[in-house]
Structure 1
Amino acid sequence: MALAELQPVNRDSTAAIIAEQLRAAIMNGSLPPGTQLGEVDLAAKFQVSRGPLREAMQRLVQEGLLRSERHRGLFVIDLEPADVFDIYTTRNAIEQAAATLIMRGGRAEQAAGALEEVLAEMRAAVRRGDPHAASDADSRFHEVLVAASGSRRLTRMARTLLTETGMCIAALQRTYEVPDAQVAEHTGIVDAIRGGRESLLLKLIDSHMEDGIRRLLPGYSLHGPGPEPSEPPSSAGAADAPARPARPRTRRRSAARKPAG
């Protein structure tokens, strides 16, 4: 076969496209924690055979976003308090490292401009009372912040947390009694970057993560001991021991219902 006869192919397989849509639905709360995924209904919804659907769902099992229960099927995980605490501790470290690179690498103006665009989307979503869009903008704000550091490794680590972070942000969305408070927190971060105030920026990021923990896990602090896992982590991997995603609850040992930003 001559090279001229080769035809372009779809970059994403059917399974990859399905996995991405399911991942987004889990992140924004359309598929809440604990939801059982039925093959028949989903195959009809996506208008595909069960083969690529099963492949897509297996990817999410391997990522730890779905858990498999024998004789029962697949369920969206529930984040436990220890998972939420771990996510925020890790995010705090990643985002502070990214902020340091931004401020010391001459990237502040470019980063502030990119973040302003996302902040405008968040502000518009809050004003029209669209919590899903506000959550999406919140997640994207932090993704853009880390990407602006120029560190591929920090960006890669942040992306592995993206869906779990989105679940937390979706829950956190319901804890803002004054919606503008969400916008104000992120505006402060952008202002610190634009003003070249590295020390303030690091404090604001830490405070932002601390606020998320206090809202989702009342009684806990990022600077104190976190909740104990209900079960020891398995060495078999996420597919065998998926974390249960948190719908933050109000009691100290549990995470609130429904998932910061």
Structure 2
Amino acid sequence: MSDSASDWDDDSPAGTADRQPRRRAAPAALDGARARPSRNTDPTLPARERAYREMRYRILEGGLAPGTTLLETELATLLAMSRTPIREATIRLEKEGLVTIRPRHGITVNALSLDDLAEIYEVFSALEVRAAGLAALRGLSTEAAERMRGLLDAMEHATQQGRIEHWSRLDDEFHSTIAAASGNARLQSTLRLYWDQQYRARLAIVPLRASPTRSDAEHRSIFEAIRAGDEAEAERLMRAHRMRADAQTLELLRGQPFVASGGAG
């Protein structure tokens, strides 16, 4: 069963990812290196932006399933918009790897194979490793350290209760906080791009995964290395964590209907 919004507020630390490390001010954390999709379509936004947000939300949350093909006119009817903002939104989504546009044949929601996901994880995880190193190098503020410590406590509590979906959300917050502490806006932006591309796989493994006790221990070690300012150790620990987690994810996804045929054998 999904956790409610009040559940999340009760168990997670307050505040947002830290934005002012000791040694160097970090830029805003965008909307999170692992931000969950939102359909917040403010009517004051340009139509192309509203179309983009709505389509992205439906794709990532499964409302438009992989392999779905729709004509531009059908999308315009579905979203109750004109074709021009739909066209602009789909071009943007194609650049992000979420759809393929075929002139006169419509827009197809891209499916992913295990090979695709393996390539995505190679890039995504390498960036998370560097984020950990930069966070250690630049130093954590007291606020960021307390936030990360609180997230670790909440994750361990969720693990004990067997609330894996809730744990997954806390895990995303923890990794996003590390990315924010890196102080590198371009790194965060690129992480977000690759996060979107593998988000559907992330959702698919939640009910399949075992109790994340090992991840909890690895997170503690990563945090302590970052807090100690040990760049090399933070990167070593994050690399080992990501390699294990990525291999586990690919194994869990093998044979799942979500994954396209032609994946890694």
Counterpart code for 2:137: R
Which of 244, 253, 263 matches 1:254? 263
Q: 1:155 to 1:130 in 2, by over 3 A?
A: same
- C-alpha distance after superposition, 1:164-184 (max 9, x if no partner): 132332233243133666666
Task: Map 1:52-201; keep pairs closer than 5 Å.
Answer: 52-69=85-102, 71-107=104-140, 109-116=142-149, 131=165, 137-178=170-211, 186=219, 188-194=221-227, 198=231, 200-201=233-234
**Counterpart in 2 of 1:231?**
none
Name the CA shift for 1:248/1:183 in 2 (closer, same or farther; >3 Å): farther
Corresponding residue for 1:13? 46
Mind listing any 5+ residue stretches in structure 1 that lack a counterpart?
Answer: 1-9, 220-245, 257-261
In structure 2, relative to structure 1, the CA distance for the partners of 1:59 and 1:95 (3 Å cut) is same
- 1:50 and 2:83 correspond: yes
> Aligned pair in 2 of structure 1 residues 119, 64: CA closer, same or farther (>3 Å)?
same
Give me the whole-angstrom Cα distance separating, in 2, the residues matched to 1:128 and 1:218: 21
Q: Given that residues 216 and 255 in structure 1 are in contact (C-alpha distance below 8 angstroms), is that contact kept between their aligned partners in structure 2?
A: no
- The TM-score normalised by the length of structure 2 is 0.62
Q: Out of 213, 225, 241, which is 2:246 matched to? A: 213
When the two structures are aligned, how many residues end up with a matched partner?
218
State the one-letter code of the partner of 2:241.
Answer: H
Aligned to 1:68, what secondary structure does the other structure show? strand
Equivalent pair of 1:171/1:248 in contact (CA under 8 Å): no
What's 1:34 paired with? 67
Q: 1:130-182, CA deviations, whole angstroms, 9 ceiling, x for partnerless residues?
A: 84x76555444433321211122322322332311323322332431336666
Unmatched 5+ stretches in structure 2: 1-42
Deviations 1:91-145 (A, max 9, x none): 23222222122112222644433445666787798869584x7655544443332
Residue pair 1:248, 1:255 contacting (<8 A) in 2 also: no
Contact 2:124 2:195 in 1 (8 A): no
2:206 alignment partner, SS class: helix
Partner of 2:55: 22
The whole-number CA distance in structure 2 between the counterparts of 1:135 and 1:15 is 31
Return the letter of the residue paired with 1:58.
I
Please identify, of 152-161 and 93-102, the stretch whose mean Cα deviation from structure 2 is larger: 152-161
Q: Note the alpha carbon deviations across 1:56-97, whole angstroms, 9 max, x for none.
A: 122212322101245542121122333322222222322222
Q: Is the 8 A contact 2:133 2:232 kept in 1?
A: no
Distance (whole Å) between structure 1 residues aligned to residue 214 and residue 63 of structure 2: 24
TM-score by length of 1: 0.63
Matched letter for residue 191 of structure 2 = A
Q: SS at the partner of 1:74?
A: strand
1:39 Cα deviation (Å)? Answer: 4.8
% identical equivalent positions: 30
What's the CA shift for 1:55? 2.2
User: Aligned equivalents of 1:118 and 1:44: distance in 2?
Assistant: 43
Whether the aligned pair in 2 keeps the contact of 1:36 and 1:73 (CA below 8 Å) is: yes
